[in-house]
Amino acid sequence: MIKHDQIIIGRTTSCLLFSWRTQTPCILTHDLTYHRCDPQFEDLDFCEFNAKDPLEMITNLSFALSFTGLLLHPLNVQNIRIDDNINLITKNNRTITYDANPIIFDTKKKKLFDVYDEFHWRRGSTHDVDELNSRERFCRKINFYSSRRPKVKPETKDLIVSSIMTEEQIISPDYGNGMVRIKALRMMREAGLKGQLGMVKNGKEYYKTIKMDFHSREIIPRFKQLKTFREVFEMEQKQEKQWKMFEKLRFKQKI
């Protein structure tokens, strides 16, 4: 039996960051699911983690927790049972028991999901728009980013359409990627984005409709949490030995 004062148990990025902020050991019961366009990451500066975006921040955070031993059994949890102790079964069926006070960070799922539909830009005029917003949950935001596809010009911008949906909406064709395409095209047209130039007649330019191909849909459930990601992010950082050890390593790398 392994003893700790406390162990945080959860499955979200908020839980992971809470472990680092409080310098408390953490067990993730599932693989992390998150998206770079998640609204919880908006308007946050991740320079503290030597990161330019949420994906880099979470990668660096996960490394820091694993390196300092605060993240217990990363990617190796098959099941967990809590009674008088914390009983963990690894993916190779090894049983490990912890004598510690459990802090349950993430509880049951909420009825809302974050849904991300990604489209590849096929035909249209180049533009310098980075995002578009609406006041509705369905297609609430469009994020444009330089395409990472091979043999595609760097000025081409693919896009991710973010929505907040219920489970019923997710399985409804009225909220499928076809309807997302229609709503996104309307938002782009209202913002002045155009397709390819079709013709010029009497000095007036006529443009074709923007063409884009659906690529993928990612659905991420929301959970009830002790604190939101932003609340955890704004917490004061405890500077225990694990934090000091990692800061020392970072300082040596900078030199």
Q: Residues in the chain, how many? A: 255
**Residue 252 pLDDT > 70:** no
Alpha carbon separation from 101 to 26, 111, 123, 152, 245 (Å, rounded):
12, 29, 57, 53, 25
Half-sphere CA count of 218, side-chain side, radius 13 A: 14
Distance CA 180, CA 119 (A): 10
**Residue 230 pLDDT > 80:** yes
- How much is the pLDDT for 20? 96
Alpha carbon separation from 127 to 1, 69, 193 (Å, rounded):
60, 46, 7
Percent of the chain with pLDDT over 90: 76
> Greater confidence, 208 or 83?
83
3-state secondary structure of 122: strand
Q: Could you tell me the pLDDT band of residue 254, with boundaries at 50, 70 and 90?
A: low
List pLDDT tens digits, range 145-197.
Answer: 999 999 898 889 999 999 999 999 999 999 999 999 999 999 999 999 988 87
Which pairing describes strands 106-123 and 157-166: parallel, antiparallel, or unpaired? antiparallel
Q: Could you tell me the pLDDT band of residue 255, with boundaries at 50, 70 and 90?
A: very low
Helix H or strand E segment including 183: helix 177-190
List pLDDT tens digits, range 95-140.
Answer: 999 999 999 999 988 899 999 999 999 998 889 999 999 999 999 9
b (16+ CB within 10 A) / e for 152-179:
eeeeebbbbbbbbbeeebeeeeebebeb
3-state secondary structure of 178: helix
pTM assigned to the model: 0.87
**50 token code pair:** 């030597």
